[in-house]
Amino acid sequence: MVMIPYRITSLSENDFYLCPVLIKTNLIMKTTRMKIFGKAGIIALLIIVFSAGFVSFNEDRDFKLLKNLDIYYSLFRELNVFYVDDIEPEKLIEISIDNMLQSLDPYTVYIPESEINDFNFATTGKYGGIGSLIRKNGDFAIISEIYKDSPSDRAGLKAGDIIQEIDGKSIMGLPLDKVSERLKGHPNTEVKIIVSRFGLDEPLTMILTRKKIHINSVPYWGMLNKNTGYIRLSNFTQDCSKEVKKALTHLEKTETMNSLILDLRGNSGGLLIEAVNITNFFVEKGQEIVSTKGKIKQFYKTYTATNTPVDLHIPLVVIVNRESASASEIVAGALQDIDRAVIIGTRTYGKGLVQTTRPLSYNSRLKLTTAKYYIPSGRCIQALDYTHRNDDGSVGYIPDSLISEFKTKNGRVVYDGGGISPDIEISLDKPSQLTIELFVNFMVFDFATRYSLTHDSILPPNEFVLTDEIYRDFIMFVKEQNFNYKTHTEQALRTLKETAKKEKYYKLSEDEFTALEEKLSHDLEQDMNIFNVEIRSLLKESIVNRYFYRAGRIQTSLDYDKQIKRACELFEDKNIYTAILNPSDQ
């Protein structure tokens, strides 16, 4: 393989000893012509040079590649010279790169220099800013969550505050990502913001000093009851295994703890090595955890437990759902294959691909899929087949005919090709349409804002009770906002009614339609009482979040969690737990 230097400022004929492919196709002459076209020509030249630098010397493949690169350059040249309006070379190139990569898989992406900070945050969980989440609120942005002990928290910002100005400039109509950019910045730099707050006639002016913000990968851990410990892991960013180990070590000091739940729900993954480190806490040193296989030898690697485990024997449950992916699936899948943990929840996402980042010129990067990973039983749990797309370009699941059977350490049957199937499958109940509408229309959020501004404190999450009085106040609040919604049944009836009118059947059944409308019409207060359990839980979480941050919200949500309840019940019967992991002993 011939490599070309990443940065090339000028080229002469002598420079091409680095790339014989270019010499034999006489592309040197083309580079001379490209000088006419300025920046566009340089970009096209770089594409040709960089691409050719990674080509093997298979004659047929070389010819096809260089032929199409030549066509691409010719096309770009014609656009630059003859298109009726001025073109933006960088924008066109970026669009063409993005579309090219979309034909591969969604994980192979080009990261321009302008997006490097966001990429670094995704892998490290760290950024420079004020430590809050924002969402759109009409023409402005609103603080939706405050991180504990962040500059936002210390300055007295509150969830529900509407941002009006940043550093003397109005943010009216500004897209949310641009608002975020203005709030972020280098640590120890100042940012001045003006916010309006419910209940105050005048806006508040605050000057905050940005800090290096670290979002904890373990937002909550603690004891669920006298015997069961709990750790929530939200992502696999750099050093997240240290956070898990810290939580686990503290829980191990609880004399009565004799079982543990590791919650990976909603965890879309991250760094592979962190998944290996976390699995290592529960398995023998030397145990294979995951292996990777790619097109080149560099990506053939086996990862084993290299450290002394923290606890080899504590009964362990891992909870997963459809949003558990990638590194989450490595942990859950490896612990399942080794028969070290019982998996509870729903089938995971099914991402069995590994990405690597490669540096490109001008501080940009390419994140590309370089390998597939295989957990200890030998299975790859990739669910979507990006290699064989349908005629319309869509991607299908790996067919059942190609799914293979594998065995865990104790001989249990498991399968590849579709994520991790839980040992005990439990789906959470879907919320009612009313609950969804109350949430997406910010009724719950806005009530929690008003509640927190009129109550200085509440009891701790495990003691706070959402009383009937609070819930009645919420119902009144929703009514005052003129909140209205349509159930799916009402929407379906409306569609049927419109169709009947178009087909001229409505007059024949008008009385029946009227009677059905009356019978199916909803009463807001009645519906809020029918679905009060799920609405109360959501409302309680939102209120607790204002006082005890993300950790408090998670702790509160566990009170209503069927999957958590099932895990605790499993620990109470050690015979069933053992029978799941080692059925041959029964």
> Catalytic positions, please?
326, 337, 351
Assign 224 to helix, strand or coil. coil
- DSSP letters of 37-99? GHHHHHHHHHHHHHHHHT----HHHHHHHHHHHHHHHHHHHHHHHH-SS---HHHHHHHHHHH
Query: Buried b / exposed e across 438-469, counting CB within 10 Å, b at 16+?
Result: bbeebbbbbbbbebbeeeeebeebeebebeee
Output the CA–CA distances (angstroms, integers) from residue 40 to 75, 91, 93, 306, 499, in the order listed: 11, 11, 9, 51, 54
Residue 465 amino acid letter: V
Closest to 228 measured CA to CA, from 476, 565, 556: 565
CA dist 505 and 513 (Å) reads 11
Angle (CA) 378-271-222 rounded to 5° is 100
CA dist 251 and 256 (Å) reads 10
CA dist 483 and 524 (Å) reads 9
Helix pair 89-102, 38-53: axis angle to 10 deg: 30
Closest to 272 measured CA to CA, from 371, 345, 339, 350: 371
Closest to 101 measured CA to CA, from 326, 297, 383, 355: 355
Helix (H) or strand (E) holding 221: strand 220-223
Residue the block writes with tokens 């006082």: 547
CA dist 184 and 166 (Å) reads 11
- DSSP letters of 543-579? HHHHHHHHHHHHHHHGGG-HHHHHHHHHHH-HHHHHH
Output the CA–CA distances (angstroms, integers) from residue 71 to 38, 191, 494, 553, in the order listed: 18, 49, 54, 56
Edge-to-edge, what's the strand order for the sheet holding 259-263? 220-223, 228-232, 259-263, 316-320, 342-345, 424-425
List, in sequence order, every residue forming a beta bridge with 133; answer none if it has no partner: 145
Closest to 577 measured CA to CA, from 337, 259, 248: 259
Give burial (CB, 10 Å; 0-12/13-18/19+) of 227.
middle
Angle (CA) 170-142-263 rounded to 5° is 145
Backbone dihedral region of 160: left (phi > 0), alpha (psi from -120 to 50 degrees) or beta?
left
The pair of structure tokens assigned to 362 is 């001008």
Residue 408 amino acid letter: T
CA dist 239 and 273 (Å) reads 10
**Chain centroid to CA 17: how far?**
45
The pair of structure tokens assigned to 379 is 């299975």
